Structure formats: C-alpha cells, structure tokens
Structure 1
C-alpha cells in the first residue's frame, strides 16, 4: 500500500460552506426571530456561519468601527508608545474620555478608553499617532482590512464610527473582523475589560464597559463586546462568548433600541449554544482513499448541528470531506499534491512523500520484496543443510 504523509501546515479554518449549513431568516419557527435589520452568528474557531440575516448588506457600524481601530493599532505599534494629544483629538465630539491637548498617554491606555468607554477622542489620538491624520489613518486601515483580514465590503472614513455616508461595512465583515481580532491576546484582554480606574489630566473616574452582557446583565460565557450608536446606524452590537467547545461571535446592526439589540443577541447566542458543536479531528489522524493513506499534520476543526450524524472521508480527488446524514457538505480540505520530483526534498514544507520508492509501483515493490524474502529463507535453509 502507498502511504502519503502530509507534513505541510494545514490551514485549520475551513470556509467551504453550503446553503444547508447556513441558517437565514425564514418562517421556520425553530429559527431566531430577529428584529435587528441585520445579524449574524459565526463560530470563531472554524469561521462557519450558523445564522445570518442581511449579513452582506452594507450598513453603518457606528462605534463597532473601533474594533478595527484597536486591532490595527495593536498590530502596528507598541502598547507602551507615548501619544501626545492634539487639539483636534481634544475637540472630538461624541463619547469621550476627556483627553486634554498636550496630555501624554500610552497607546494601551488610549485603547482601553477606546473600547471600554468608546472614547472618540482616543480614536482620533490613535489615528494621528499611527498615520499622522484621520484621513491617512483611514486609508491605511482600509488597506489593512482588505489585504490582511480579507474584508471586501468595508470602507471606513474615520477611526471611531461617527456618521459619514461612505463609512460602511456589513455584519459578515464585522464578524470576520472580530474573529481575526480574537486571535490577539492583548485585544481580547481589553475587549473583555469590565471596569478600570481612569486617571487623566481632566478626568479621574472609573470606566465601566458599555456592554450590558459583560456587566449589568451577565450572560454565561461572554468574553467581550462592543456597543455602538449614531442615529443613522441605530443601535449596533458585537458580542463574543464561549462555552465548552463552541466559540461564538454575534453581530447585530440597526436595532431600534438597546433592548431590541440585546434581546436579539441573547436569542442568537442561545440558538448557537443549544444547536451546534465544534468537533476536532486529532493531529495525525489517518484517512484512506484507494491505495493511499492521508494523515492530518495538525488538529482539524469543524462545526455542525449537535443532533446530526457526520461522515468524514477522503475521496480519490484527495479531498477530505465532512458531510451530514443527508450527504450535504459541511466542510472540506484539499490535501496538497506535489510532483514525484518534489517528494525527494524533505526540507520542502509542502512535501508529500510516498511510502514506496519513487518510480516503483506497489505491485512491483511487493513482488521484489517477496522474492527477496524467499531468497533469504532459501539461503538460511541451505546454510543449515550444509
């Protein structure tokens, strides 16, 4: 039997989805009845969408913009950078942390003010520190969102989310953004902060997160969240929560009231936790297709409905498929294929090395092996007779 040992790094996240695994707004009474104009539930480990409503429609995000500002700043500057507050930052309208012109603040403190208290002045200070101006920062961040995170339907005109008719995104892009940011420990530490003392030149207080599921009405498993509101956007809400093997992201956009946004979010979290699970396939698991064995070099995750049976198999096209009891595809992974000449290069991380020597088929190899063993047995028998 031929054996292929896949030693390349597998991209764990599987984004091949089918319609039956994505739940959209329908009249099905078992699905959430969401009032917000747009909403999405995404499993953060696998990236699979468990529910969506108008998730690809461009809308105004309000302060959910600050998720992008925060992760961009964390990945492009040091948290101990000292930022000098400008007059423009000082005079920014809306929710603030009351920074003073000339005040010097660390980037980490500004990020806390940005996410915990939704400080628009902190957002402008961060933008000016990184790119020199709000305009240049917005251009830089848009490139980052597209090239690094892969967002395709987002354009931000500022770092805070105050209304601009061209400042738009989608629920799906915000879920992808949040999923990316969640991989950063510093971001999640700030994103999940419930309260902290704030000692500024003109404001000494204790800041409390605006997200009620983190503080006022705690929901089991919530790990972070961001709120937003401008009249044109309505109430916007992003929430992350984890229970056992399920790690959820919920985004709701354009809710009429806070109560509506939170009710939708709780309903969507309940829907995810009650109906789905994420399962892991251990590292070095073997799958056979014809004369070949395929071995996963790292842990492989997929999400499915908790009450459905799944089948995991590799077909002749060297693709690992996970299907439900109806044969519907849930996730898939294409094992890499290399030419015979590449299999002799062990330093190549994309190597797929054959068990048998290159150029020798399994039947010939087994024939030679039998002949060799037969000869060895004959030699030993003859030696004893002599």
Structure 2
C-alpha cells in the first residue's frame, strides 16, 4: 500500500511540474541597451518579467528602500496617530523634511514626506514610532518582505536607504515589492502626487515629488528614486496605458539623466511589444464532455501584439491559454459550477431512494404472493 501511495505522489509531482514548466514566457526579439548596471521590466498584473538585465544581482538600493517603510506604515500603523519626533530623527543626514525635536506630526503626514520629498528624518521617525528604533524596524521590514511579499534576497538595515554594506536588494525584488505596494490605494495616491503643501514647525513650503517621470512620461503613476554614492542612481517607476500597467526598476545608473533615459527605454519597449488581456471572474467555460466551469478571480495574461490566442478547458477543469506555435501562456484550474460534493450527495440520496423503492416493491410482491391460497 505504501509503495502504491508513493507512486501516486510521484506521478502527481511530475504532472504538476510539466504544467508549470510548460508555460513559456512571452518574448520580443528586440534587444535593449541600458546604462544602468541592473534592470527589470515587469507586468504589474501578472508579475511576468518582460525584460531583465542581471535582475538578481545584489545591489545597494538607496532611497527606493522607502517603498517598504511606507507600505508597512500604511498597512500596520494607524495613520491618524500623532508621532513625537525624536532628536535622533532630526539628526539623520541627507534629504529631509526638516522635522524638529518634539514636533508632533501625524503618521500619514510622515509617510507623505517620506515618499514625496524623500525625507530621511521622516523615515527614522516612522521607524521609531512603529518599532522603537531603526534596528527593530529593520527586522520588521525583513520579516514583512519575506512573509507578506514572499521575497528572500533583500536585506535592509534601516528605513531610509542610507548606505550600509549589508543593506542590499535586487531589481527583481524591488519590482515584486512595488507590485505589492501599488495594490494599496493610499500608497498609490501618495507616490502619484506631484506636489503638496508642507507646513511644519520650522519648514513651510511646497514639496515636489523627486520622481521626474511623473512630469516627463505619459501615464506615469509613481513611485520612487534614490541616490547615494555607493548605489549610484536608482529608480522605480510604474506606468499605465489602457489596460496595461508596467513596473520598471533600474539600479546603479551613472547619472539621474541616464536612469530616466533607461526607464523610458524600458517602458517604450514594453508598450511597443506587449499587451495585457483579462478574462473576468465568473466567466463560464464548458469542457467537451459538457461539464461547466467558472473563474473564481480575474485572470490576466500577457501576449505580444497580433499574437493569435486560443482558449480551451479540458475534462478536469484546467483552462489552457495558448498563443502562437502553441505557446502555453497561462494554465489555471477552474471551479466546477456544481461542486463535486453536491453531486455525490445527490447521487447518494438518489441511490437510497431507489433502494427504498425496491424494498417497498419486494415487500408488496411478498404480501401479494402470501395472499394466494396454498394447496
């Protein structure tokens, strides 16, 4: 019995592996030349990588670190909390929103200063409020990225991105982090804000988003740029046109202009070659044996332009989306319109009814037979 069970498990694993490895990534023939040391272009809806350049190489992120600090504050903090700024927060070097010791600022306001004006002091104030210190907040950041986002190749030691030799990430991880963060509507709104009035105790001004893509590129929706000497110029941006939203990350560009040039190059490549399509939830499909199935959630997939698409469902309820040359684009297990459990229960009830009817008939025959006189 054990050997049979083991054999079945092996067969299931092999079949699953064939399904997963059979999916072929969408590709375009054109090559891209970039100034940045590493880069990635990702479809935001599916997470599919459309272009990569050393995307898993360990790099220093600089201020794009603040994407993680912000999403933790937004998801785990109370945005109307009033934070009392510490002396340590006011002494952080680099870009600031010029907080002063004992100034009282709402957590939401600190997140806005963190993302729009890249305030390092706001980052430290958030960290101390959320975890007591930068050290403990860094541990929270690493745990959050692993448990909530599912990435394991990023390790942060502070909330703002100032250089530390152990403060590292990859282009791929930053794209995944951004994909996650942009699902939060408050985060999306803040990183898409071009300018905002800032009224602090000692600094009253209009702050402008440091990400120039918001002004210079059609459809740009966020998110963050960064620079320290060891990291070079880093940039993460999201852009949406029609039904397609793209995420691009460039790390260690030699200048800000080179970073923005690479970002635009990546987006033009994406919009020129690919498109995102969607099958909406509750859409019905019918297998060739007549069984009906439906999608539980919207299903997004990426194709090249003018690619011929075919959609079919097999008898086991697995949906196959194929492109040119039978390229497998997506495979998804659908839910039957009537659950198997309901069908089994109905069958049992019907069989019991038939058995009861049969018993009644036999009793009637027996009674009828016994009514005849015996000679």
Could you tell me how far apart the structure 2 residues matched to 1:44 and 1:128 are? 32
Could you tell me how far apart the structure 2 residues matched to 1:17 and 1:180 are? 26
Corresponding residue of 2:235: 237
Corresponding residue of 2:357: none
Pairs within 5 Å for 1:36-75: 36-75=36-75
User: Tell me, what secondary structure is at the counterpart of 1:358?
Assistant: helix
**Between Structure 1 and Structure 2, which shows a larger proportion of helix residues?**
2
User: Tell me, what secondary structure is at the counterpart of 2:99?
Assistant: coil
* Residue 21 (structure 1) aligned to one of 21, 26, 35: 26
Whether the 8 Å contact between 1:211 and 1:225 is mirrored in structure 2 is yes
User: What's the CA shift for 1:298?
Assistant: 3.6
Does residue 104 in structure 1 map to residue 110 in structure 2?
Answer: no
Does residue 331 in structure 1 map to residue 320 in structure 2?
Answer: no
Pairs within 5 Å for 1:351-362: 357-358=346-347
Structure exhibiting the larger radius of gyration computed from Cα positions: 2
User: Tell me, what secondary structure is at the counterpart of 1:63?
Assistant: helix
Corresponding residue of 1:89: 89
Corresponding residue of 1:319: 318
Could you tell me how far apart the structure 2 residues matched to 1:181 and 1:273 are? 22
Whether the 8 Å contact between 2:96 and 2:122 is mirrored in structure 1 is yes
Could you tell me how far apart the structure 2 residues matched to 1:260 and 1:249 are? 18
Could you tell me how far apart the structure 2 residues matched to 1:90 and 1:65 are? 19
Cα deviations by residue, 1:328-384 (Å, 9 ceiling, x for unpaired): 2222212369xx8x613xxxxxxxx67x943699xxxxxxxxxxxxxxxxxxxxxxx
Could you tell me how far apart the structure 2 residues matched to 1:312 and 1:58 are? 39
Could you tell me how far apart the structure 1 residues matched to 2:79 and 2:46 are? 29
Give every structure 1 segment of 4 or more consecutive aligned residues whose post-TM-superposition deviation is greater than 4 Å.
Answer: 15-19
Corresponding residue of 2:274: 276
Give the structure, 1 or 2, with the largest relative contact order (CA under 8 Å, sep 6 or more): 1
Whether the 8 Å contact between 1:89 and 1:124 is mirrored in structure 2 is yes
User: Tell me, what secondary structure is at the counterpart of 1:21?
Assistant: coil
Corresponding residue of 2:117: 117
**Unaligned residue ranges in structure 1 (runs of 5+):** 1-14, 345-352, 362-386
Corresponding residue of 1:214: 214
Whether the 8 Å contact between 2:294 and 2:334 is mirrored in structure 1 is no
* Residue 227 (structure 1) aligned to one of 200, 206, 225: 225
* Structure 1 residues 67 and 17: alpha-carbon distance in aligned structure 2, compared to 1, 3 A threshold: farther
Could you tell me how far apart the structure 1 residues matched to 2:201 and 2:27 are? 50
TM norm structure 1 = 0.80
User: What's the CA shift for 1:285?
Assistant: 2.6
User: Tell me, what secondary structure is at the counterpart of 1:197?
Assistant: strand
Cα deviations by residue, 1:196-219 (Å, 9 ceiling, x for unpaired): 11111221111111111113xx21
Could you tell me how far apart the structure 1 residues matched to 2:196 and 2:301 are? 37
* Structure 1 residues 57 and 243: alpha-carbon distance in aligned structure 2, compared to 1, 3 A threshold: same
**Unaligned residue ranges in structure 2 (runs of 5+):** 1-19, 351-375
